[in-house]
Amino acid sequence: MSDVAFYFGTNFMNITIIGAGKSGLAAARLAQRDGDIPFLTESASEETYISAKQVLNETGIDHEFGNHSSKALTNCDLIVTSPGVPPYAEIIKEAESRGIPIISELEYASSHVRNPIISITGTNGKTTTTALTAFLFSNAGVPAIAAGNIGTPLSDCLHTLDPHTILVIEASSYQLDRIKYYKPKVGIILNITPDHLTYHGSFDAYQRAKWKTSLNQDANDIVILNADNPGAAACAEMSRANIQYISMNPVQQGAYARDNQLIFASSMHNEEVLMPFEDVRLPGVHNRYNSMAAALAARAFEIRNENIRDGLMQFSGVEHRLEFVRSRHDVHFINDSKATNINAAWYALSSYKEPIIWIAGGRGDNNVYAELDAVAASHVKTIIAIGEEQEAIFNHFCTSIRCLKAESLEEATQLAALEAASGDVVLFSPACKSFDMFANYEHRGQVFKSAVQALS
């Protein structure tokens, strides 16, 4: 039996799900609804997943915590692996040696639907662009939902999904790395810069995972690529889709910026001015790229220009991404906890004209802070370093910019409030992962927002 036959609910198939996070639970429930026999295995202790353990008990799904036993691969027909389970994990290597098919939850769930899919990936900006794209559709009266890496696994959407709903999927490199038949109607690659290299092993492997957005597309599909980013633009060499570009320079097919205007181009002789970028509500150059990509996706489904314009003027952003928290003594506090790498922090730092008190730090991933020297020199007046990267950040910048250290995010927030003068911006944009001090970037962002609200 072929791999693809497995995905469509062949009854009484034994499916092992690796990981008890949101996507793992969602895949297990979907397998159970299909009439298959799911078994969930999680290497962490059940104390780490108390709520997941409760769900598994209530649904009667067989499971194990604390290790991956031999049962996980016994009579196993298919493995659905959660994002972040690395390819060098022992259970993955053993499954591969046995020839057991291994797919991601995204691949598994998407095989159950025939809804049009807009698939969005990129090192930075994918959450904002996913939410914005879904908003443009909904605002125009076209049913659409945002799912995937943005927070709601696709597997959890299927039981209530209308066949006419557009699926706007945020796809991580982890999810794309384990696809075989996933075929979006519109694929978007916003940018590719070094990230998650521990998981993928090399930048080349990471890049190829992102390119899988267009792996199964054909001439009836569209892939939207950032012409200004070499990693994203290079996907054109392998794609069979209709290629459109986003750029700060003129393109023949796609959208670009000219004289501070968002321009649609179907050829060099057929252009439409959509709107001035100053009317786009989201700040920053990076959000110009995000807005162009979302606008092109909407155009692909014949959303009218006036509806796209209206949506871009209304959409205010997503939580933890350049999120306005509070003004205090004419100082704006901004939560950018989702900036988990150098590139994301660069975009954040370049988004404000006001002097910045920058709170940064966490768990590094071979961070090269020299890439931020120029933007920090022109925008930042004080840096407050926290977390495992505290010393690295402090030592790199302290000779050119005022630098302080804090032992907690709460202390850093208090120091930032003391450092800031009227008209300044306090920007929490860590440039690092959250796992040294927090469960995830959402937890980290909530702690920052609570600390800001607690300021007298």
List pLDDT tens digits, range 324-335: 999 999 999 999
20 pLDDT more than 80: yes
Per-residue confidence (pLDDT) for residue 4, from 0 to 100 = 45
Please tell me whether residues 241 and 329 are part of one structural domain.
Answer: no
Task: Indicate the pTM of the whole model.
Answer: 0.82
Per-residue confidence (pLDDT) for residue 198, from 0 to 100 = 80
Strand pairing partners for 425? Answer: 332, 356
Mean pLDDT of all residues in 191-214: 90
Per-residue confidence (pLDDT) for residue 380, from 0 to 100 = 98
Task: Yes or no: say if 85 and 23 are a contact pair by the CB < 8 Å rule.
Answer: no
5 pLDDT more than 60: no
pLDDT band at 269; cut points 50, 70, 90: low
Last residue of a domain, one of 314, 345, 374: 314
Run of H or E residues at 209: helix 203-211
CA angle 414, 418, 419 (to 5 degrees): 115
187 pLDDT more than 70: yes
Mean pLDDT of all residues in 70-83: 95
Burial of 125 (0-12, 13-18, 19+ CB in 10 A): buried
Please tell me whether residues 258 and 353 are part of one structural domain.
Answer: no
Please tell me whether residues 157 and 282 are part of one structural domain.
Answer: yes
Task: Yes or no: say if 111 and 8 are a contact pair by the CB < 8 Å rule.
Answer: yes
Per-residue confidence (pLDDT) for residue 268, from 0 to 100 = 60
Burial of 396 (0-12, 13-18, 19+ CB in 10 A): buried
Please tell me whether residues 385 and 405 are part of one structural domain.
Answer: yes
Counted domains in the chain: 3
Please tell me whether residues 200 and 99 are part of one structural domain.
Answer: no
Strands 78-81 and 102-104: parallel
322 pLDDT more than 50: yes
pLDDT band at 38; cut points 50, 70, 90: very high
Please tell me whether residues 327 and 438 are part of one structural domain.
Answer: yes
Task: Yes or no: say if 315 and 157 are a contact pair by the CB < 8 Å rule.
Answer: no
Task: Yes or no: say if 386 and 406 are a contact pair by the CB < 8 Å rule.
Answer: yes
SS3 for 399? coil
Please tell me whether residues 126 and 89 are part of one structural domain.
Answer: no
Angle separating helix axes 305-314 and 126-139, nearest 10 degrees = 130
Per-residue confidence (pLDDT) for residue 197, from 0 to 100 = 75
Please tell me whether residues 348 and 392 are part of one structural domain.
Answer: yes
Please tell me whether residues 140 and 289 are part of one structural domain.
Answer: yes
Q: 396-407: per-residue pLDDT in tens?
A: 999 999 999 999
Count the Cβ atoms, other than its own, within 10 Å of residue 161.
Answer: 16
Last residue of a domain, one of 91, 106, 121: 106
- Check the CA dihedral 320-274-148-87 and report its sign: negative
Q: 341-376: per-residue pLDDT in tens?
A: 998 899 899 989 899 999 999 999 889 999 999 999
Last residue of a domain, one of 80, 106, 132: 106
Please tell me whether residues 202 and 307 are part of one structural domain.
Answer: yes
Residue 371 is part of a domain; what is its CATH number? 3.90.190.20
Per-residue confidence (pLDDT) for residue 98, from 0 to 100 = 96
Instruction: Give the max Cα distance, the chain.
Output: 68
Helix then strand then coil, in percent of the chain rounded to 5, is 40, 25, 40
Strand pairing partners for 102? Answer: 79
In the block, tokens 């995905």 appear at 7
Rounded to whole angstroms, what are the CA distances from 430 to 36, 50, 442? 43, 29, 12
Number of H helices, E strands in the chain: 17, 20
Please tell me whether residues 78 and 168 are part of one structural domain.
Answer: no
Count the Cβ atoms, other than its own, within 10 Å of residue 15.
Answer: 23
Please tell me whether residues 280 and 337 are part of one structural domain.
Answer: no
Structural domain including 67 reads 3-106
Per-residue confidence (pLDDT) for residue 2, from 0 to 100 = 42
Mean pLDDT of all residues in 95-119: 96
